[in-house]
Structure 1
Amino acid sequence: MKQLHKQSSLAYRRDEEQLSSGDHASSYSPKALKHHRSIPRSINYIFKEQRLLFILLGILIGSTFFIIQPNLSTFTPSDAGSAASLPKSVSLFDREALPSRKTYPRSTAGMMMQQQRNGRIPVGIGRKRMRIVVTGGAGFVGSHLVDKLIARGDDVIVIDNFFTGRKDNVMHHFGNPRFEMIRHDVVEPILLEVDQIYHLACPASPVHYKYNPVKTIKTNVMGTLNMLGLAKRIGAKFLLTSTSEVYGDPLEHPQKETYWGNVNPIGVRSCYDEGKRTAETLAMDYHRGAGVEVRIARIFNTYGPRMCLDDGRVVSNFVAQAIRKQPLTVYGDGKQTRSFQYVADLVDGLMALMEGEHVGPFNLGNPGEFTMLELAEVVKETIDPSATIEYKENTADDPHKRKPDISKAKDLLNWEPKISLREGLPRMVSDFQNRILNEDEGKGQK
């Protein structure tokens, strides 16, 4: 049986080998040579699966690029010829002012690139636009500061609770995309993203800060803490508007920044005087302890348009009384002195301080010194020579002398006031006359 099985297996293998060799011989043939596609097959390939559409689309895109590409250059050869014919003192940017050719506005970035290629950048274009918050920005000084910042090209956010500020002071900026107003009390925290903080919020006249002395001290302390905390969180530069009242009734005349003052800490004016001294302390502690970049300005008597009509300050009192045909009220013997700076000079000083590299404090005031009687005579000459003077008992803790030493501001900030009292007073008088005679604000005081 085993022998039969072996023979059958050998026979099966022999037959399988013969079959496979026969199949291989019959199926083998040399590889056919490839033939080039004929023209009809190529056309059929182009039309197949929308290939023609993609080819035409590519041709269209390429043609469009080569048509538009010459217009992408900054100026054409004709422009170059006209630029070459201009005087060397006239840049390509200045050509827009020439009447000989029609021009169209270009983006700021494009103008900067063009001027860089020419090696010139006009003044102001390379400056970064700042985002600035002004607390108390609807007030007397704050509104003039806002005007100057907006005119410079910055974005300004005004924070004001309108205790002494007025919407009328900043109404001319309504609708400006670079201006924003927030009704808010700085005693409560607020979170904003800004580059600079001008902290002016606080009632600054005796009538207003004596009205609610607790609120005044809270504004000076809590309000300053909140704004310093904001400056610390967002890395903003912080400017505090302090006051010459930190010197109290000075034993030094004129007052330098190194003078520590003579202040009554429990008097009727201490809510403002000591409040500002505390605010300065907070600013310096945030600067030393937390690295906040701070600036401190000590502001002396300031006057100008937009002052509150009846804020108790001597200049506004005299002007309003003279316009209303009332006696000019002089407290005490009228021999106490003050120094008066026009508001535009103060705004220039605040901006110079903020943009400078020095912390301060800096006295910002006009060294021109006047007694109250001398001021009354100037007001009479300007408004009504027939006005009379009425004497009243002096208020408590009223300083006898006030005159700033501004040598530090001159040396380090290159700042000094330019507008004299006799030059600036008529501008204030014109504003007061319009408001007292034509608006509701002054009707109740006639």
Structure 2
Amino acid sequence: MRRVSAKTILVTGGAGFLGSHLCERLLEQGHEVICLDNCFTGNKKNIYHLMDNPKFEFMRHDVTFPLYVEVDEIYNLACPASPIHYQLDPVQTTKTSVHGAINMLGLAKRVKAKIFQASTSEVYGDPTIHPQPEGYWGNVNPIGLRSCYDEGKRCAETLFYDYSRQHGLQIKVARIFNTYGPRMHPFDGRVISNFIIQALRGEPITVYGDGSQSRSFCYVDDLIEVMIRIMESGDEFTGPVNIGNPGEYTILEIAEKVVQLTKSSSPIQFRDLPQDDPKQRCPDINLAREQFQWEPQVDLHKGLSSTISYFEKLLSEEKI
């Protein structure tokens, strides 16, 4: 493990899937961590194992309201990230991305903290370039069902760069592609969590469209590693930078792989494709490779096996 100077670090959305793994890694590095979450999609169960650590503090707070704490760094991860959750209250989703960014940037400006924005591959919309490089400006429907998230995250990026230019803030912006692993929300409507839960329960595997649309999937440990490398990098590099696994699979291939690994008898059931669902989504990660000497290490078979074990345990404990 790299030796780093201990800091006080704020993680918004810290009780969520990615946030809880990030808090865990930062504590392992010896930092003091303030985990902030309103628990709309985050869950305190994800951080129960951290509660006894004297360097860990949990705060129930909504980032759309100002926050006054003293910190050295901020990771801004707060926002529902799956369609089923961010479409539940689209106005609040936009507020979380935009007002949340304004409040966290204001905090960073006041305490002179370095700040990381967890942006998303959704800023590329339904891409016309494949794979997607950082210089691609995207193909986003500004008034569609997904736009509360897509445009909210695009606006947050705008705010980060304007605060950097106008106030000299130290910023880092990463565009996160599909990520999976233990502590995913079991009912977040995402491909891998959906397929695993359905397969373990013997229910039909629901594939939208004909299953030919493609995605890439990055295991959570790989993603957290590069997030921390980005934050630790020098001030001259701000991003945006794509982070994800460039291995590309069709949705149907993922469904078949999950059925195989779970030894399930679940049939595959096809349904209509949702509005504005991207046909292709895959990161060009050459910039991350060059800047951080980073390459995803966990292959799909190993990552899926670990994620299936997590959901099997949840089901056996009747927690879902």
Same fold by TM-score greater than 0.5: yes
Q: Is 1:339 matched with 2:253? A: no
1:384 to 263, 268, 273: 263
Map 1:67-78 → 2, pairs under 5 A: none
Partners of 1:329 and 1:250 in 2: CA distance: 24
1:421 to 285, 294, 300: 300
Structure 2 SS opposite 1:170: helix
Return the structure number with greater helix share. Answer: 1
Partners of 1:128 and 1:273 in 2: CA distance: 35
Q: Is 1:220 matched with 2:94? A: no
The aligned residue for residue 394 of structure 1 is 273
The aligned residue for residue 275 of structure 1 is 152
Cα drift, residue 386 of structure 1: 2.3
Unaligned runs of 5+ in 1: 1-121
The aligned residue for residue 37 of structure 2 is 160
Partners of 2:189 and 2:43 in 1: CA distance: 17
The aligned residue for residue 61 of structure 2 is 184
Paired residues of 2:202 and 2:264 also in contact (CA < 8 A): no
The aligned residue for residue 63 of structure 1 is none
The aligned residue for residue 285 of structure 2 is 406
Partners of 1:176 and 1:386 in 2: CA distance: 43
Map 1:88-103 → 2, pairs under 5 A: none
Q: Is 1:327 matched with 2:221? A: no
Structure 1 SS opposite 2:242: strand
The aligned residue for residue 299 of structure 1 is 176
The aligned residue for residue 13 of structure 1 is none
2:8 to 100, 122, 131: 131
Which is higher, the Rg of structure 1 or of structure 2?
Answer: 1
Q: Is 1:359 matched with 2:267? A: no
Partners of 1:200 and 1:128 in 2: CA distance: 23
The aligned residue for residue 239 of structure 1 is 116
Aligned residue identity for 2:241: F
Q: Deviations over 1:191-237 (max 9, x none)?
A: 11111000000000001000000000000000110000000000000
Cα drift, residue 387 of structure 1: 2.0
Aligned residue identity for 1:197: I
Q: Structure 1 pair 172/239, CA: closer, same or farther in 2 (3 Å)? A: same
Partners of 2:2 and 2:35 in 1: CA distance: 27
Q: Which has the higher contact order (CA 8 A, sep 6+)?
A: 2
Paired residues of 2:202 and 2:265 also in contact (CA < 8 A): no
Return the structure number with greater strand share. Answer: 2
Q: Normalising by structure 2, what TM-score?
A: 0.98
Q: Percent sequence identity over matched residues?
A: 55
Partners of 2:305 and 2:24 in 1: CA distance: 20
Partners of 1:370 and 1:198 in 2: CA distance: 30
The aligned residue for residue 258 of structure 1 is 135
Unaligned runs of 5+ in 2: none
Aligned residue identity for 2:12: T
Partners of 2:64 and 2:165 in 1: CA distance: 23
Partners of 1:347 and 1:389 in 2: CA distance: 32
Say how many residue pairs are matched.
Answer: 318
The aligned residue for residue 370 of structure 1 is 249
Aligned residue identity for 2:154: R
Cα drift, residue 381 of structure 1: 1.1
Q: Normalising by structure 1, what TM-score?
A: 0.70
